[in-house]
Amino acid sequence: MNGHLKFGLSSSVLDEFHLDLNDGVLDGRYFIETVTVPASKSTDTLSANFLASGINYILKARGTANAGDNIEFDAKYSFRTGSSVTWTDSVSNYEGYGPTLLDLFYNGSTPWGVFNFSHEYEAAVTGTGAIASFRIYDVYYPNNTGNLYVDIYAEL
C-alpha cells in the first residue's frame, strides 16, 4: 500500500480510490455523514464531525418539509398550495419576512443556488476546523413538520 508514496505522491492513490468508491459512485468525493435538520427546531443542528481546516467539502441539501398553512419548502424555495404558481424564494403571503424565510442556513449563509425540481442542492465549502451548523429560519416553529437532510462529502 505504501508503494504509491515512494513515487512522490502525498497519499496512496489506492486508499483514495477505496474512499471514493465506498458510496458506490466514483465521483472524486467520499461520504462523511448525513445531518438531519428538524423543521420544528429553532436552534442549530450540528454535524457530528469537524470539517477539517483547508479541506474542500460538498454539502448536499435534500428533501422537503412543511411549515403549516399549506406551505412545503426545501433548502431555499417554497410552494404554498392555494396562492403559489411556482416554487419561489419568497414564501407566498409571507413576503414581508424576506427571501430567507424557511431557508436552510449553513454557518449563517444560504449557499443553495437556483431551484431544482428534485429538491437537491450542492454547495462547495472549505473546512475551518469547526463543526458545521445548520438551521431552518422561521418566525414560528411549532407548526413545522418534517426534516431536511444535508449529506457531507469530502473532496479527494
Residue-level pLDDT at 28: 78
* 11 in a structural domain: no
Q: What is the CATH number of the domain that holds 81?
A: 2.60.120
* Number of domains the chain is built from: 1
* 99 in a structural domain: yes
* 20 in a structural domain: no
**Mean pLDDT along residues 38-61:** 98
**Mean pLDDT along residues 30-52:** 97
| Rg of the Cα atoms in the chain | 18
CA–CA gap between residue 54 and residue 96 (Å, rounded): 38
Confidence of residue 1 (pLDDT cuts 50, 70, 90): very low
Question: Burial of 69 by CB count in 10 Å (0-12 exposed, 13-18 middle, 19+ buried)?
Answer: middle
Q: Each residue of 5-37: pLDDT tens digit?
A: 545 555 666 566 656 656 666 567 889 999 999
Residue-level pLDDT at 8: 55
- Kindly report the number of other CB atoms within 10 A of residue 35's CB atom: 23
For residue 125, the enclosing domain spans: 27-155
* 145 in a structural domain: yes
Q: Looking at this protein, which amino acid is placed at residue 106?
A: Y
* 58 in a structural domain: yes
CA–CA gap between residue 45 and residue 105 (Å, rounded): 10
Q: Each residue of 82-137: pLDDT tens digit?
A: 999 999 999 999 999 999 999 999 999 999 999 999 999 999 999 999 999 999 99
> pTM of the predicted model, to two decimals?
0.86
Which has more pLDDT, 80 or 12?
80
Note whether 67 and 78 are within 8 A (CB).
yes
* 146 in a structural domain: yes
Residue-level pLDDT at 66: 99
Residue-level pLDDT at 155: 92
* 117 in a structural domain: yes
Confidence of residue 3 (pLDDT cuts 50, 70, 90): very low
